[in-house]
């Protein structure tokens, strides 16, 4: 059945050389499309160069639109989305399909008569094509699994960072406000100093001048070193677990040998 065959080629279930070829073509198209977006921003480009980039972008839009429509048309090959109407509607709500839709949004908006070349914000919409790469690069898919698995620990770490950010901003405001009313004018303004210090960036545009403020800044800077290491350790642990699972899945359950 042609619907099932197209779905297999696009999803790689089961893997095939045709799927590998299509994936490589789409991945190259994504990278080339993003390169066109970057080149377009360069000043002094000639009209001919801009025309070439515009034509290339339109071709990429057509390719991505065809891919999106084929995925939507062939999704009924999966039992979960077998219903011709509601199955496709539910398939459209999958995260990667939403990303695919955003990637071709300029073509949809052009069809509505909008001049996207005059709106810089639509360059950001076109950059959603970068996220399409996660479908074709296993490392990106593995990263998503790590974040999914470690989301509770990362949420806890983020909560600790937000608490320390607010605490350090409040304390520094109370200590430095009288000495530097313009630099530390409010707690919200002091958060810029707290972010720069906790992330160990330390731009130096705002800094304490009182002895107590300097002491507090030193403590915050030391805490910042630990805060940077905290999510890194969580992600490293997640990568280790996922890599181990992937390694076990490539072993034959009968003899324990690696499966090619």
The confidence score (pLDDT) of residue 215 equals 93
Q: Average of pLDDT values for 45-61?
A: 87
Q: Nearest 5°: phi and psi at 251?
A: -100, 140
Query: Between 103 and 190, where is the model more confident?
Result: 190
Q: How far from chain centre, in Å, is Cα 40?
A: 22
* Structural domains of the chain, with CATH: 2-136 (1.20.120.350), 151-249 (1.10.287.70)
Predicted confidence band of residue 124 (pLDDT cuts 50, 70, 90) = low
Q: Do the beta carbons of residue 144 and residue 242 sit within 8 Å?
A: no
Q: Check whether 251 has a pLDDT greater than 60.
A: no
DSSP letters of 76-110? GGSGGG-STTHHHHHHHTSHHHHHHHHHTHHHHHH
pLDDT exceeding 70 applies to what percent of the chain? 82
The confidence score (pLDDT) of residue 113 equals 54
Rounded to two decimals, the pTM is 0.61
The confidence score (pLDDT) of residue 253 equals 47
Q: Check whether 94 has a pLDDT greater than 70.
A: yes
CA distance 98 to 167: 39
Peptide bond into 205 cis (omega under 30): no
Range scoring the smallest mean pLDDT among 16-30, 112-126, 168-182, 226-240? 112-126
Q: Check whether 90 has a pLDDT greater than 90.
A: yes
Predicted confidence band of residue 69 (pLDDT cuts 50, 70, 90) = very high
* Residues ≥6 apart with Cβ < 8 Å to 188: 169
């Amino acid at each position: 059945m042609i619907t099932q065959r197209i779905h297999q080629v696009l999803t790689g279930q089961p893997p095939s050389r045709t799927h590998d070829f299509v994936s490589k073509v789409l991945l190259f198209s994504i990278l080339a499309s993003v390169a066109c977006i970057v080149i377009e921003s360069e000043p002094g480009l000639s009209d001919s160069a801009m025309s070439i980039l515009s034509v290339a972008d339109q071709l990429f839009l057509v390719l991505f639109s065809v891919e999106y429509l084929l995925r939507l048309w062939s999704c009924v090959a999966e039992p979960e989305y077998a219903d011709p109407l509601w199955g496709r509607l539910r398939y459209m709500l999958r995260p990667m399909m939403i990303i695919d839709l955003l990637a071709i949004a300029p073509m949809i908006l052009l069809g509505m008569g909008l001049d996207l070349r005059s709106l810089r914000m639509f360059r950001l919409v076109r950059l959603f094509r970068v996220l399409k790469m996660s479908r074709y690069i296993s490392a990106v898919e593995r990263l998503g699994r790590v974040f999914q698995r470690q989301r509770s620990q990362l949420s806890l770490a983020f909560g600790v960072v937000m608490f320390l950010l607010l605490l350090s901003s409040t304390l520094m405001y109370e200590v430095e406000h009288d000495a530097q009313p313009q630099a530390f004018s409010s707690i919200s303004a002091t958060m810029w100093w707290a972010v720069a210090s906790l992330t160990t960036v330390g731009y130096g545009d705002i800094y304490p001048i009182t002895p107590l403020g300097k002491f507090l800044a030193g403590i915050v800077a030391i805490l910042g070193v630990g805060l940077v290491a905290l999510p890194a350790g969580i992600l490293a642990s997640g990568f280790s677990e996922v890599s181990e699972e992937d390694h076990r899945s490539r072993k034959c359950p009968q003899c324990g040998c690696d499966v090619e």
